Amino acid sequence: MWQRGAVTGRAPLDVELALLGGGGAASLLLAALDRHGVRDLRIAVVDPVRRRGQDRTWAFWGRPDSDLDPLLSASWQQVEVATPARRRVMDLAPLRYAMLRSGPVYDRAAEAERRLGATRIVAPAESVVDDGTCVLVRTGGGPTVRAGWVLDSRPRPPARPGRTTWLQHFRGWWLEADRPVFDPARAVLMDFRTPQPTRGVSFGYVLPVSDRYALVEYTEFSPALLTDSGYDAALAGYRDLLGLDPAGLRVREVENGVIPMTDAPFPARPSPRVVRLGTAGGATRPSTGFTFSAMYRQADQAARALAADRPPVPAPAYPRRHRWMDAVALRALDRGGVGGPDFFDRLFDRNPAERVLRFLDGVTTPAEEIAVMNSTRLLPMIAATAGDAADRIRDRLRPTRPAPAIPAAVVGVPPSGGTGDAEPDVAGSEPGAPPR
């Protein structure tokens, strides 16, 4: 199915810009094109799924911002980081931590798409051939598209396996309580009091939108997914750790997800006229899985470029030295040289929160980065740096192997009994899957 722009016979649909994938990155891009006043650009959006509703919740930090703020569900000036040893409350000024649900983002993108007069092709893009002057995109069941530029955010594995391949995988419950049990003035950013996996890091977090309603999530950074019952048990354990009585709670929605955490490369410019955005283009920060801010930044840059009649090529999502530091940190965490709670605790203990958060966004100065690096334990980091260097040499010498695909999230049966009396909505969130 496609709309607008009659396509007859075998003639391709000619556009200046084709977006392959219409999820997070493409939605931000459509909104940015509209915001920057781009008009008269022929655009096609190719995705087998039309994204709408709440299929994910984005949390991110930044300065208060007039573009995104009207869409936020909540924002917090204060966040808490907890370890078994202490609970630290941090003031983020001049930044704030914010929560954005996917529904308003998709709605804004749909409105932008309408104003831009884009053609929507509800079909998968199947092959992409770039001859250097234009790109031919064949779709499964829809028209062929001939585009001047392609911005491609379809989920894909990295170009080769990483030296460390972890996943950020999680399950969250949107909990509604009978009485006030949450503190809406502050979010829990990371709570490492959860039982730690043998290999990896786990933590819980709480994003309250009111004193009775919050997203409570259990997250692991580790090589492999849990089972459905494993996520439920871990999340129920975290709920109990927070002192929340299940009898007074209802699970209103369930959110599941898997995000790559790896030093494997996600090439952002696979061919002259194809630019990758979002997770596929390297916007996911390997050491944290946070993606939103880089995705937003890149959408803005690409849209500004198109508005000025320039190629829509954003700056790399993160500077090269940040990707190297992440590779070393991931290695130190994975090979057991550094404990996750200790690593993050020291980062927040020895730096202003604002510096750590800007560091994680890849926007700190080299001097600030040295300060951040100095807050980690020296010996394991030196060992990880040496191991990383040796593996880089080995990688140059051996033939490239295909990387495994990013696995789909485990979407299970919604919890019943003590955690709620109503059937919750389950947000599917595996890469590329339709929302449920």
Ligand X SMILES: Cc1cc2nc3c(=O)[nH]c(=O)nc-3n(C[C@H](O)[C@H](O)[C@H](O)COP(=O)(O)OP(=O)(O)OC[C@H]3O[C@@H](n4cnc5c(N)ncnc54)[C@H](O)[C@@H]3O)c2cc1C
Binding residues for ligand X (CB under 6 A): 20-26, 46-49, 51, 56-60, 124-125, 153-155, 255, 257, 259, 278-280, 290-292, 295, 429, 431-432
**Least Cβ distance, residue 134 to ligand X (angstroms):** 19
Nearer to ligand X, 24 or 162 (CB): 24
User: What is the rounded CA–CA span in Å between residue 278 and residue 295?
Assistant: 5
Q: Residue 219's beta-bridge partner residues?
A: 170, 203
Nearest Cα neighbor of 154 from 264, 28, 256, 26 is: 26
Which residue lies nearest ligand X, judged by its C-beta? 23
**Least Cβ distance, residue 367 to ligand X (angstroms):** 26
Nearer to ligand X, 124 or 362 (CB): 124
Render the burial of 169-198: b for 16+ CB within 10 Å, e for the rest: bbbbbbbbbeeebbebebbbbbbbbbebbe
**Least Cβ distance, residue 14 to ligand X (angstroms):** 19
388 to each of 158, 316, 350, 360, 383, how far by Cα in Å?
A: 18, 22, 25, 20, 9
**Least Cβ distance, residue 290 to ligand X (angstroms):** 4
**Long-range CB contacts for residues 419-424, cutoff 8 Å, separation at least 24:** 419/173, 419/236, 419/239, 419/246, 419/249, 419/250, 419/251, 420/249, 420/250, 420/251, 420/252, 421/250, 422/250, 422/251, 422/252, 424/173, 424/174, 424/250, 424/251, 424/252, 424/253, 424/254
Nearer to ligand X, 116 or 137 (CB): 137
**Least Cβ distance, residue 6 to ligand X (angstroms):** 22
Nearer to ligand X, 295 or 381 (CB): 295
**Least Cβ distance, residue 55 to ligand X (angstroms):** 7
Nearest Cα neighbor of 299 from 47, 108, 54, 13 is: 108
Nearer to ligand X, 49 or 371 (CB): 49
**Least Cβ distance, residue 74 to ligand X (angstroms):** 13
Whether 249 and 243 have beta carbons less than 8 Å apart is answered as no
Nearer to ligand X, 186 or 285 (CB): 285
**How many other C-beta atoms can be found within 10 angstroms of the C-beta atom of residue 278?**
29
Nearer to ligand X, 54 or 385 (CB): 54
**Least Cβ distance, residue 121 to ligand X (angstroms):** 9
Nearer to ligand X, 16 or 430 (CB): 430
**How many other C-beta atoms can be found within 10 angstroms of the C-beta atom of residue 116?**
19
